[in-house]
Structure 1
């Protein structure tokens, strides 16, 4: 597919863009595409809720989109490592775009039903499960190691666009052009992202000893991603910590809307959501300029504790002002935490297994929201809200501090989730493997100068697998001694 896709372009090599410029073009295309996806996500939610009036059917849209990432994540990671990463991104964008376009077609034909939206969203999520692992793994090959922190900040901004910009735009477009029009705009954004991929070059990952060890059947390679993490306790501890904190923070995200609506209008809800979400943008911009410190784990630990504190503050009072200030500070920390975590994984994981490893990590990350979606409603309605009524069991204790009545049970749940985030992070600080993961694990990113050194020292290296590939590949059985030992020799 790759040869067909670029055959005419390769005749004129000046049209091929690589390195940092190529990444920035991909970043721009994905930014536009993510905003388009956000438009469709908002429009579908409004259409389903207006048609059914059922919150459960509305929430199932998110579940069917996330579910493929959990079920197919390991397989997607294997394909990212097996295939050319640009081709993988092309397939992901094209498949996701066509799945979305089918909704508009069925809608215009007058046969759109809620069940078909679930099917289309599931297919879109399946193709989309290739997108982030392939883009993150490609970024490692395109960007100098010293710039990974700043580019990770830019990656956070890509995902923020669909939550900060799309809802505002989609709200107005829904009245004028309707669901079909919004979906067509979304499809056009996929075409933009795909077109950009035709003109950029993403190097293939260098073959490493770790990659050779993970070769086998598709199933064996998918499992290898988990084995790779398990064999590195520092990375495993980091993944577990983020899985727990993702559960607690996602609980606050799910319950943010009912918390505000328990005492304020929908207009104030929209204002609060926009102001709180702006923290994501500020944090992403800060990381894209700063890049983060040399040692990232201490910064992450401090900010995760602060995230827990700010989440706790959101639940203290039924006050839009307090919620906005606390929510802004909480969301400000998230892009810095997330991008710092991403840089650690990009530096410490061998480039030719990053697809598998990143997909396993993403699978665990996406699994926790599914648990949250399942228990957030019952936990709030059946447990915490009754406890905080005027005659509730906690009215005389926590009720004196947080207040009593509608929404105060959700406020208590925010406090609990914030404190739990702080506690889990503090426990994580006790793990020496987690604290020292940056020192104990050597960097796995191989620079271009190291590539040249490998080529000179290994006469058995093979030429590039494609005419335009600048990276040299070695037969796995010839890759002895391991690369770290080879590169350390004079």
Structure 2
């Protein structure tokens, strides 16, 4: 036994020696290397300045090339992601139908009732489910699988729109039908919006969230632009009923794409728990408490709601500004609206390709500052000569539009990255509810203040408030 033990010790010593030999060799080589290095010092010194200059000149192009390659790689990875591509296709088709519906449905309501007041009332009713159902919908999104929520919502909305079109075609559509259909549509939207936002982090890696949100938003904008352009042609060729039926088919197609395209969806962590009324209220309260205690998310949500409030006068009074102050009429309004949309598309593409270079907080604050500055400068275009003033207004709208996705996509990414999965549905629903609530509040504020303050002055005030909000947001979130 002793001899065996000695033999084992001897083998270990031999192995250690073998391992140490290369180290000794390397140690012996080092003086030689140092000598070689010292012999090359003169040459290195003579060429060092030229090399540093070349490196500094090449660094920027190389970095830009690397960023461009990274952006292309991310886009290719997203397009190869079957589940994300499915969601993208369904969203594009659905948004095309939404924009088509915004024209055709409004035209149908006006032809049926001939009442502008009723159209305004329907617009108000459309916002109610988001305000009343939103927090409750968030609890359900956190418990139910996203796929059934999205599929059922599309099928229900498509069916409701189809029924409305058939009733209008047969002459049986009544005003009370419109209110019922509007409430059903808005309730389904209150469910599917947070479901879609919470689904994206399950489909793509966190490092691709900003690009995924940006490209999804950009594709939706393009679809909306196409729907608005096609609405007039479809109504002229197929009539109101035909245009609305096409809208219903887009919902059904979107639902079918999601039904067969989304696979292997993860289970919700709280789906097995029994949902009692008390548990329901507790879960809803958890969402409010989480937002209140998280300084970063609280700042993001409050800032987003405030910006939506500040931008309401611009959305409401833009037609009056175009007609009365720029003297450009409907054509000028069309140019400015088009510049906003094109700007949002270009800004969305840029964020998807290059936005990951910057922090979400820096992107949001910079974009909001740009929006506020353009908002204020927009009002100053009235001092320019006729024709030039419209060009200035269109340019300001373009920059504003380009800045919107620079703020909205990072904001959504921030919420998705910093919110635990088990509570994300409630946070997204709360965000949607606050954004929706700011629209009527901002509208009432605009109606009251526009009687005592001129439109340009109101735009300057609101623009400066947006800039101030951007500075406060940056100050509160700079550490994150």
TM-score (norm 2): 0.76
294, 314, 317: which one aligns with 1:232: 294
Superposition deviation, residue 196 in structure 1: 1.1
What value does the CA root-mean-square deviation take over the aligned residues? Answer: 2.5
Q: Find the counterpart in structure 2 of residue 479 from structure 1.
A: none
Superposition deviation, residue 223 in structure 1: 2.2
Q: Find the counterpart in structure 2 of residue 42 from structure 1.
A: 103
Within 5 Å, give how 1:148-187 maps onto structure 2. Answer: 148-161=209-222, 163-187=224-248
Q: For 1:377 and 1:159, how far apart are their aligned partners in 2?
A: 31
Superposition deviation, residue 282 in structure 1: 1.0
Change (3 A) 1:327 1:161: same
Query: C-alpha deviations, 1:321-347, integer Å up to 9, x for none?
Result: 111100010010111210101111111
Which has the larger displacement, 93-102 or 111-120?
Answer: 111-120
In 2, are the aligned partners of 1:153 and 1:285 still within 8 Å (CA)?
A: yes
199, 203, 211: which one aligns with 1:138: 199
Query: C-alpha deviations, 1:129-157, integer Å up to 9, x for none?
Result: 11221111111111011110100102322
Q: For 1:115 and 1:369, how far apart are their aligned partners in 2?
A: 24
Within 5 Å, give how 1:438-457 maps onto structure 2. Answer: 438=480
User: Is 1:279 aligned to 2:336, yes or no?
Assistant: no
TM-score (norm 1): 0.74
Structure 1 gaps of 5+ residues are 1-17, 385-408, 439-490
Change (3 A) 1:113 1:413: farther
Q: Find the counterpart in structure 1 of residue 478 from structure 2.
A: 435
Superposition deviation, residue 116 in structure 1: 2.8
Query: C-alpha deviations, 1:230-276, integer Å up to 9, x for none?
Result: 12122112111111111111321222122212222223322331122
User: Is 1:334 aligned to 2:377, yes or no?
Assistant: no
Q: For 2:420 and 2:319, how far apart are their aligned partners in 1?
A: 41
Q: For 1:310 and 1:368, how far apart are their aligned partners in 2?
A: 21
In 2, are the aligned partners of 1:283 and 1:332 still within 8 Å (CA)?
A: yes
Q: For 2:342 and 2:398, how far apart are their aligned partners in 1?
A: 7
Superposition deviation, residue 20 in structure 1: 2.3
Within 5 Å, give how 1:7-406 maps onto structure 2. Answer: 20-49=81-110, 54-161=115-222, 163-199=224-260, 200-201=262-263, 203-204=265-266, 207=269, 217-262=279-324, 263-318=327-382, 319-380=389-450, 382-384=451-453
In 2, are the aligned partners of 1:85 and 1:138 still within 8 Å (CA)?
A: yes
Superposition deviation, residue 294 in structure 1: 4.6
In 2, are the aligned partners of 1:45 and 1:61 still within 8 Å (CA)?
A: no
Superposition deviation, residue 206 in structure 1: 6.1
415, 426, 451: which one aligns with 2:460: 415
Q: What number of residue pairs does the alignment pair up?
A: 390
Q: For 1:83 and 1:19, how far apart are their aligned partners in 2?
A: 27
Query: C-alpha deviations, 1:367-410, integer Å up to 9, x for none?
Result: 10121233333432x222xxxxxxxxxxxxxxxxxxxxxxxx22
Change (3 A) 1:154 1:65: farther
Q: Find the counterpart in structure 2 of residue 4 from structure 1.
A: none
Q: For 1:35 and 1:118, how far apart are their aligned partners in 2?
A: 23
Change (3 A) 1:61 1:435: farther
Change (3 A) 1:88 1:202: farther
In 2, are the aligned partners of 1:73 and 1:359 still within 8 Å (CA)?
A: yes
In 2, are the aligned partners of 1:81 and 1:355 still within 8 Å (CA)?
A: yes
In 1, are the aligned partners of 2:339 and 2:401 still within 8 Å (CA)?
A: no
Q: Find the counterpart in structure 2 of residue 388 from structure 1.
A: none
Superposition deviation, residue 85 in structure 1: 0.8
Which has the larger displacement, 327-336 or 98-107?
Answer: 98-107
Change (3 A) 1:366 1:48: same
Structure 2 gaps of 5+ residues are 1-78, 383-388
Superposition deviation, residue 176 in structure 1: 2.0
In 1, are the aligned partners of 2:159 and 2:248 still within 8 Å (CA)?
A: yes
Q: For 1:299 and 1:255, how far apart are their aligned partners in 2?
A: 28
Q: For 1:311 and 1:35, how far apart are their aligned partners in 2?
A: 28
Query: C-alpha deviations, 1:294-327, integer Å up to 9, x for none?
Result: 5210221111011100111221123221111000
Superposition deviation, residue 128 in structure 1: 0.9
**Partner of 1:344: helix, strand, or coil?**
helix
Larger helix proportion of the pair: 2
In 2, are the aligned partners of 1:23 and 1:139 still within 8 Å (CA)?
A: yes
Superposition deviation, residue 163 in structure 1: 4.2
Change (3 A) 1:165 1:109: same
Superposition deviation, residue 55 in structure 1: 4.3
**Bigger Rg, which one:** 2
In 1, are the aligned partners of 2:107 and 2:240 still within 8 Å (CA)?
A: no
In 1, are the aligned partners of 2:376 and 2:463 still within 8 Å (CA)?
A: yes
Change (3 A) 1:87 1:51: closer
